[in-house]
Amino acid sequence: MKQKIAVLGPGSWGTALAQVLAENGHDVSMWGHNPAQIDEINTYHTNRHYLPNIKIPESIVGYKDLREAITGVDAILFVVPTKAVRSVAQEVTEYIEGNPYIIHASKGLEQGSHKRISEILTEEIPAEKRKEIIVLSGPSHAEEVAVHDITTITAASEVEAAAKYVQDLFMNDYFRIYTNHDVIGVETGAALKNIIAIGAGAIAGLGFGDDAKAAIMTRGLAEISRLGVAMGADPLTFIGLSGVGDLIVTCTSVHSRNWRAGNLLGKGKNLDEILDNMGMIVEGVATTKAAMELAESLNVDMPITATIYSVLYEGKDIQQAARDIMLRDGKVENEFSQK
């Protein structure tokens, strides 16, 4: 059934998801803060800053006014940076009509509150103004989805019918969606893998090879699982698409801005300079701080995250940080099986 969908956030991922929806025959509007970007989308059907050389379907209409963008929609898809989710949700609540589904494809934890994206949306958009909230997440790069590379991700909701709704919206011959009920696990995996990707990039930048890459990804997954379970997630979620799947793609691809930032750190570049030149949000930097604070409040041991935090926020020498984490006391590997 043809649906009317508003995509909020015309970055690379928002644009790629809008393209999937339009190619599936849905009526798609896009909203963003940058008037020149919206004009480009409407006039030239391109978004060159985020997806160069990609032609956007002409059926997609860009809007500068949020009220116009969400008028009469069946679903609203949030693809804005984590730090903007709350303010945009507040604005949406002011203008919303009917009770659309609320979908989000953002990946992070809110600074200060340490809340997941769905928790923010639940707080800011009253239940009577919406249907269920669904998380769309998994191993994916906008650059590959935009050229129809095969991609599989997850739609997670506590209400199975809502997850199935999103599955039906997006499924086609190159973009496959699986459903999941574990919202906490899916959102936690999505947020925390960006931290580990910074570490994986740093390992490469320091000149270490595949053994080190395997080590940080595997033990990074252990940390993600440890914190996720403490938050109430199903541990099995982390061996799925939004756990190990997203971790693999983010820790091994040059498309990953978190990996690129870490790689430059490993090569001795200054963090502020890296972020200024990246041109896009590096979610893992802010997420490292939120995750570190959350882990401390839940008494969860996260040595890789703590090491990355010490480099990002305390100015620790990155080579010394790599040596120190290797010299920690010995640990049991399969910690969940010991309980």
Residue 256 annotated in ligand binding: yes
Report how far Cα 114 is from the mean position of its chain's Cα atoms. Answer: 15
Residue 193 annotated in ligand binding: yes
Q: Which candidate in 2, 4, 83, 193 is catalytic?
A: 193
Residue 180 annotated in ligand binding: no
Assign residue 46 a region (left: φ > 0; alpha: ψ between -120 and 50; beta: otherwise): beta
Helix locations, the chain, DSSP H: 12-23, 35-44, 66-70, 82-95, 117-124, 142-145, 160-170, 183-205, 210-231, 246-252, 257-266, 271-278, 283-298, 303-314, 318-326
Closest residue by Cα to residue 198 from 85, 305, 95: 305
Residue 118 annotated in ligand binding: no
Q: Helix (H, G, I), strand (E, B), or coil: what is residue 80?
A: coil
State yes or no: is 339 an active-site residue.
no
Q: Helix (H, G, I), strand (E, B), or coil: what is residue 57?
A: coil
Residue 259 annotated in ligand binding: no
Residue 33 annotated in ligand binding: yes
Residue 95 annotated in ligand binding: no
Residue 83 annotated in ligand binding: no
Residue 140 annotated in ligand binding: yes
Residue 13 annotated in ligand binding: yes
Are the C-beta atoms of residues 187 and 110 closer than 8 Å to each other?
no
Cα 4 to Cα 68, 89, 92, 96, distances in angstroms: 13, 19, 16, 14
Residue 12 annotated in ligand binding: yes
CA–CA separation, 199 vs 213, rounded Å? Answer: 9
Residues tagged in the binding site annotation for sn-glycerol 3-phosphate: 107, 138, 140, 193, 246, 256-258
Question: Which residues participate in the annotated binding site for NADPH?
Answer: 12-13, 33, 50, 107, 142, 257, 281, 283
* Active site residues per annotation: 193
Residues belonging to the binding site are 12-13, 33, 50, 107, 138, 140, 142, 193, 246, 256-258, 281, 283
